[in-house]
Structure 1
Amino acid sequence: MRFLWLDINSSYSHSSLAFPALEAQLSQAQREKIQWEIISGTINSDTGNLVADIFFLKPDYIFSTLWLFNSEFTLSLLKRIKSLLPDVKIILGGPEFLGSNYDFLLTNKEITAVFRGEAEETFPLFVQSVIDSSPDYSLPGFCLTDHNQNYTDNGEAITNDFPSLIPPENSRFFRFDKPFVQIETSRGCFNTCSFCVSGSKCSKVQYLDAGTVNKRLEYLASKGIKDVRILDRTFNANERHAISLLDVFSGFAGKMTFHLEIHPALIRDNLKRTLESLPAGLLHVEAGIQSLNDTVLSLAGRAGSSEASLEGLRFLISLGLFEVHADLIAGLPSYTYKSLIEDYITLAKCSPSEIQTELLKVLPGTFFKENASKLNLKYSPVPPYEVLQSDAVNPVDMLRASRLSRISDIWYNDKRWHSCFRKLITENDKFLLLFIDFTDSVNLSSAAPQRAGSILFDFCNKYFPELSVQVSHAWISAGLPLNSKVAGNVKKWEKGFTGKNCPFSDLTYNNSYYYLDINENTAWYSFLNKRKNYPPESIIIN
């Protein structure tokens, strides 16, 4: 029996965790009766080459997962395959199928069945039925239509014993060569976020104990893994569990970095003490804010108040031990564009390393998807299902919110512009609103550092000329060309020049020295001559 897993990702750095998670549950006897193949690619791969590779293998079954950013590409690929291999059975799973699947199956007749939910416990049963020449589509989670378009829906499959599952890294198909790996230390979510696929179920949360997690991390460390992404929906939902895991993570300080999502409103005293004691650089924290409006949070089913979230965010940043990213979701019910801008500036004043601002995605299986009409949410019918209009934001302002997302990535989240941009938007009330409108006529799809600096400099020259020098300072500090207009009135200092005293103590012919007057101060830059287009070795402001 020839099985093929089609692994299509958004970029090379990603790989499917679903495949090794499922394959790991199979018995040795089942593996001996299956010939597995895997075809991997990205959404930018050549379709023709992938089709040729799959056609050459001539599988009996193709399995794949669909989600926001790979579904259109993967479907178009599978339709071509079905034309060449009409007898192949195609079975799909993933987040795209957490809602109703009737319309999808009617319009995509090439697909044999789709699976809703968590498949680890069901997959071995289905594989065995295929080996026994009697594929069992009556198992929990399967949805399908027959030749008469009669629809069968077997509900949603839920894992009953998460701690007993065999870890994905035990599968021979687990990818240890990727830049990072993903681990679940819990399954389920206590929260009821209306925008999240886990929110509608408010399912019982099942946890792995600290000893099990430690053992798995030791194995991953032995394979050279340095970057671990924790997939738990809310890492600190259970404080005791979170503290026990942080103690485990500390044992890998200097060897691994752990990315996790913390709900800042739920940081209690015991967790604070543990976080304060962690080694620097151990964590990379995503702090879920979503909105700083309590009415919006309530309508979204989000636990915790905005005040508590801000307090928790400030605490995380104040530690100075790890990068902290904060996020906002534009388009939530009752969340106005004005409030979004105010919240963004409030977060910028807290100074997280990055601010992620995304449009609400009205995902299959969520409360917002099921109640979109009642909530006046209008959204794209095709992935990524972004909201186009809400009860509080018209389509024009939604486009502005989308531009804010890109602006944040280009200027706030880039270390070259971070301090400068943060200062500009937090010290000038109208700056951000005007800048968003200014970029309406600017293509932001590609903004290399020099172009980003030029855009910001031109804007300041037009609306805030007294602030242009701040952009010039950021430009020079980033090591960008000094002969550009963006460098402003930067001047080279020569030995023997009597107009200004160079503050660098060890003057040498190996370095070049420049200065820029910034209001009442002067910024001095020392560049190593043999390193062209590099940031200055040293900067002094006096």
Structure 2
Amino acid sequence: MDCRDRRYRKTYFAVDNRLYAFVQFDRPKIENHLLTHESMKKRKSGFTLSGKNLAAGNRIFLYVATRFFLRYNEKNGGRKQMKILLTAINAKYIHSNLAVYNLRAYAAHYAKGMADSDTVEIGEYTINNQMEDILEGIYKAKPDVLMFSCYIWNIAFVEELAEEFHKLRPEVPVWVGGPEVSYETESFLREHPQITGVMIGEGEKTFCELAEYYAGKSRRDKEKQKIQETQRTGEGKSTEERSKPGEIPGIAYRNGDEIIFTAPREMLDLSDIPFCYDKAGDFKNRIIYYESSRGCPFSCSYCLSSVEKQLRFRDAELVKKELQFFIDREVPQVKFVDRTFNCNHAHAMEIWSYIKEHDNGITNFHFEISADLLREEELALIGTMRPGLIQLEIGVQSTNGATIKEIHRTMQLERLKEVVKEVQKHENIHEHLDLIAGLPFEDYDTFAKSFDEIYELRPNQLQLGFLKVLKGSYMYEHAKEYEIEYHSRPPYEVLKTKWLPYEDVLKIRQVEEMLEVYYNSGQFEITMKVLGVLFKSAFFMFQELGKYYERNGYFGMSHARIRRSEILLEFIKETFAGDITAGEQRNITETGKKADHLEILDIIKESLIFDLYYRENCKSRPAWAKDLSVWKQVTRAYCKNGKQSHVECFSYRFPDKGERVLKELPKRAGKPLYALFDYTDRDPLDHQAKVTWIMEDEDAGLCSH
């Protein structure tokens, strides 16, 4: 090996795995010297070689030699160490990218000839970072190989970053991987000439072999053996030829104008992937993503998991050991990315049992499940868990039978409802139910029915999403058949379908925004329960509220909580104070039709006040709020925690936490009711304050209930 650096007039070379530095000094009386790396390792303040001290030249010589030694060492046989930068651009700061950590861990454990895992670095950013800041960070990292993890939320960032970085460092190979580039790969590479290649599908072993390739090492023991055999017989390719990227399965790369696809990569045993978080640094305020299985037993047509037919599980003992790592460090949340965690009952029971037995009182575990698959023993187990220990995300997507059949989804709807209600009885698990708008055979009316049917279950959150037509999915392949038009750019959300025109999509988007603001935020919990007595259809209620926002120009504006309350009160006043329209007649309950509109307004005013203080001790109060000084004596008597508590006077008694659905409007009390909000004792599921009702008793005076 001969490497020359003209700035210092020196030459490095290796002989028999010994590294030598030949340095030419311009200073008088300083001769040229031959220095081995072994002497460099023994250096102290001065440097003795061949019985001579380099004296004044020592400083210059040591700088030159040390600079070289940091880049060349005995362990890698004199090769230049490669820095591979795995770049993750997350949707939020609190997220972590499981993929890049898995890639680094796998390469550190299995790569042959890599100097150490430090040659693979991770750079994490978010889509909220400025593009220029990310580019600067990548450039200053000085990678020899740059790789990006690609998803629908970051692909636009990746494309731009790769293009700009290539202008600055055109000699650096740029690779990408992930679901967003694993389909229609050839067109992606042709559209982005700055991209060197794509890792297709499962990436751990593929990345490991690419790292070996770029480090100049053999990729696999089998290949080494084949090379040796062919060299002994004088047949086959040379070592140099065998080390080309074309020998690495699971990639597509460019060779001049040609795009070359190698053989598909075989699926991994998940238990072979080393634990990736032991060097992940600080977990504070971060969500940790973890997988105990890959693949899915179902074939939902909109989902890429249906493409991966083989369902695999990580060894349960290994999973428990790794979960203990998070538990010991009191990680706030561990989110399992398993597509259907409970599809294997034994696997789910073993892990849930371990989590319950080793609960640290802090860590929360999130699971995506199929509710209708839960058995009685599983329900019994999770029913005894600490409130907040786990949360469940349950995909419903639609209650329309024709839609469920067409998207190849297997679901027993009535069983799902039973399970959701059973879980709610224990009030210890946060439930998150999902719906998708824009699916085949789902029009506006059937979607409204699906919405109302699931809303009646009163989950902690109801996620209303829109169909994303993902490359590689069955839905993508049959988009023309369904007359689906969708955005050309990520996230490829539906614009219209054969059954759902764009006008209806826009109306559903308004419903979705109102749902997020007034239901999923948890900031209007009691008021939503009261409105449930007045409106037959929650979908209709959110639809009309959205129309009210649009008429008054409220969309696109930033509103504080109190202003949101004022707008809702305005909407209720407009709806019930005047003549009820024909559409409203169909969707407003008999109670809503018969009740005096002034009484309705009084109840809503108080429920909105209750909601404001349910979440926090408000610094300001709405215009209709009562004068606090009227009950200042009650406040002095019961508010022992200062600003960590609050007393409010009401004329109506509002429902307790366990009462998810009201059957009638709250009744006006004969005497003032006082609610004590304690912010030091919050509900672990929704973080609302603990509420104690204080009532006047003729004999005992004030007493709490």
TM-score, scaled relative to structure 2: 0.69
Which AA in structure 2 matches 1:473?
Answer: E
CA distance in 1 between partners of 2:693 and 2:179 (Å): 49
SS, match of residue 64 in structure 1: strand
Q: Show the counterpart of 1:147.
A: 256
CA distance in 2 between partners of 1:88 and 1:207 (Å): 37
Q: Show the counterpart of 1:499.
A: none
CA distance in 1 between partners of 2:333 and 2:137 (Å): 31
Aligned pair count reads 530
Matched, 1:237 2:370: no
Match of 1:12 among 93, 109, 117: 93
Which AA in structure 2 matches 1:327?
Answer: D
Instruction: Give runs of aligned pairs for residues 366-515 of structure 1, distance below 5 A.
Output: 366-425=473-532, 427-429=534-536, 430-440=540-550, 441-443=553-555, 446-465=558-577, 466=597, 467-477=600-610, 478-479=612-613, 480=618, 484-485=622-623, 487=625, 490=626, 494=630, 514-515=649-650
CA distance in 1 between partners of 2:204 and 2:689 (Å): 51
Which AA in structure 2 matches 1:14?
Answer: H
Name whichever of 470-479 and 188-197 sits farther off: 470-479
Match of 2:276 among 159, 168, 183: 168
Which AA in structure 1 matches 2:214?
Answer: V
Which AA in structure 2 matches 1:197?
Answer: L
What's the CA shift string for 1:278-297, capped at 9, x where partnerless? 33322111111111112211
CA contact (8 A) 2:104 2:120 kept: no
Kindly tell me: are residues 194 and 294 of structure 1, through their superposed partners in 2, closer, same or farther at Cα, counting changes over 3 Å?
same
Kindly tell me: are residues 113 and 380 of structure 1, through their superposed partners in 2, closer, same or farther at Cα, counting changes over 3 Å?
same
What's the CA shift string for 1:329-358, capped at 9, x where partnerless? 111111122222222222222111111101
CA contact (8 A) 2:104 2:121 kept: no
| Deviation for aligned residue 1:462 | 0.9
CA distance in 2 between partners of 1:22 and 1:78 (Å): 20
CA distance in 1 between partners of 2:638 and 2:126 (Å): 52
CA distance in 2 between partners of 1:47 and 1:316 (Å): 44
Matched, 1:51 2:135: yes
CA contact (8 A) 1:286 1:325 kept: yes
CA contact (8 A) 1:288 1:326 kept: yes
CA distance in 1 between partners of 2:639 and 2:216 (Å): 80
Which AA in structure 2 matches 1:23?
Answer: R
Instruction: Give runs of aligned pairs for residues 170-189 of structure 1, distance below 5 A.
Output: 170=278, 172-173=279-280, 176-189=283-296
CA distance in 1 between partners of 2:100 and 2:344 (Å): 28
Which AA in structure 2 matches 1:110?
Answer: Q
CA distance in 2 between partners of 1:26 and 1:285 (Å): 33
Which AA in structure 2 matches 1:168?
Answer: C
Name whichever of 358-367 and 124-133 sits farther off: 124-133
Matched, 1:192 2:299: yes
What's the CA shift string for 1:67-116, capped at 9, x where partnerless? 12111122212211111111111111112023212222121111111122
Which AA in structure 1 matches 2:575?
Answer: Y
CA contact (8 A) 1:425 1:431 kept: no
SS, match of residue 460 in structure 1: helix
CA distance in 1 between partners of 2:567 and 2:450 (Å): 24
Matched, 1:521 2:521: no
| Deviation for aligned residue 1:245 | 1.1
What's the CA shift string for 1:348-392, capped at 9, x where partnerless? 221111111011111122111122111211111101111111122
Kindly tell me: are residues 483 and 45 of structure 1, through their superposed partners in 2, closer, same or farther at Cα, counting changes over 3 Å?
closer
CA distance in 1 between partners of 2:533 and 2:263 (Å): 50
TM-score, scaled relative to structure 1: 0.89
SS, match of residue 5 in structure 1: strand
Kindly tell me: are residues 450 and 141 of structure 1, through their superposed partners in 2, closer, same or farther at Cα, counting changes over 3 Å?
farther
Q: Show the counterpart of 1:307.
A: 414
SS, match of residue 122 in structure 1: helix
CA contact (8 A) 2:469 2:493 kept: yes
CA distance in 1 between partners of 2:246 and 2:518 (Å): 51
Kindly tell me: are residues 314 and 98 of structure 1, through their superposed partners in 2, closer, same or farther at Cα, counting changes over 3 Å?
farther
Kindly tell me: are residues 519 and 205 of structure 1, through their superposed partners in 2, closer, same or farther at Cα, counting changes over 3 Å?
closer
| Deviation for aligned residue 1:318 | 2.5
SS, match of residue 465 in structure 2: strand
Structure 1 consecutive aligned stretches of length 4 or more whose deviation exceeds 6 Å:
502-505, 507-512, 534-537
Kindly tell me: are residues 503 and 298 of structure 1, through their superposed partners in 2, closer, same or farther at Cα, counting changes over 3 Å?
farther
| Deviation for aligned residue 1:174 | 6.0
Match of 1:117 among 179, 187, 201: 201
CA distance in 2 between partners of 1:237 and 1:68 (Å): 27
CA contact (8 A) 2:148 2:175 kept: yes
Kindly tell me: are residues 427 and 9 of structure 1, through their superposed partners in 2, closer, same or farther at Cα, counting changes over 3 Å?
same
What's the CA shift string for 1:289-335, capped at 9, x where partnerless? 11111221111121113222222222222232211111101111111
CA distance in 2 between partners of 1:229 and 1:19 (Å): 16
| Deviation for aligned residue 1:9 | 1.2
Which AA in structure 2 matches 1:236?
Answer: N
Match of 1:209 among 309, 315, 318: 315
CA distance in 1 between partners of 2:320 and 2:128 (Å): 37
What's the CA shift string for 1:177-213, capped at 9, x where partnerless? 4522111111111110111111133x22211233222
CA distance in 2 between partners of 1:422 and 1:112 (Å): 56
Percent same amino acid among aligned pairs?
Answer: 24
| Deviation for aligned residue 1:526 | 5.0
Kindly tell me: are residues 446 and 318 of structure 1, through their superposed partners in 2, closer, same or farther at Cα, counting changes over 3 Å?
farther
CA distance in 2 between partners of 1:536 and 1:188 (Å): 42
CA contact (8 A) 2:285 2:332 kept: no
What's the CA shift string for 1:400-445, capped at 9, x where partnerless? 2222222221111122202322442464134233223223342257
SS, match of residue 292 in structure 1: coil
Name whichever of 476-485 and 213-222 sits farther off: 476-485
**Structure 1: gaps spanning 5 or more residues:** 497-501
CA distance in 2 between partners of 1:359 and 1:50 (Å): 30
Kindly tell me: are residues 541 and 130 of structure 1, through their superposed partners in 2, closer, same or farther at Cα, counting changes over 3 Å?
farther
Matched, 1:287 2:394: yes
Instruction: Give runs of aligned pairs for residues 79-90 of structure 1, distance below 5 A.
Output: 79-90=163-174
Name whichever of 71-80 and 468-477 sits farther off: 468-477
Which AA in structure 2 matches 1:335?
Answer: E
Kindly tell me: are residues 111 and 95 of structure 1, through their superposed partners in 2, closer, same or farther at Cα, counting changes over 3 Å?
same
Which AA in structure 2 matches 1:169?
Answer: Y
Name whichever of 308-317 and 513-522 sits farther off: 513-522
Which AA in structure 1 matches 2:565?
Answer: G
Which AA in structure 2 matches 1:9?
Answer: N
Cα RMSD (Å): 3.2
Matched, 1:323 2:430: yes
| Deviation for aligned residue 1:175 | 5.6
CA contact (8 A) 1:5 1:37 kept: yes
Matched, 1:356 2:463: yes
| Deviation for aligned residue 1:541 | 8.6
Q: Show the counterpart of 2:228.
A: none
SS, match of residue 87 in structure 1: coil
Kindly tell me: are residues 200 and 514 of structure 1, through their superposed partners in 2, closer, same or farther at Cα, counting changes over 3 Å?
same
CA distance in 2 between partners of 1:237 and 1:414 (Å): 30
CA distance in 2 between partners of 1:450 and 1:382 (Å): 37
SS, match of residue 7 in structure 1: strand
CA distance in 2 between partners of 1:325 and 1:225 (Å): 21
Kindly tell me: are residues 49 and 434 of structure 1, through their superposed partners in 2, closer, same or farther at Cα, counting changes over 3 Å?
closer
| Deviation for aligned residue 1:64 | 1.1
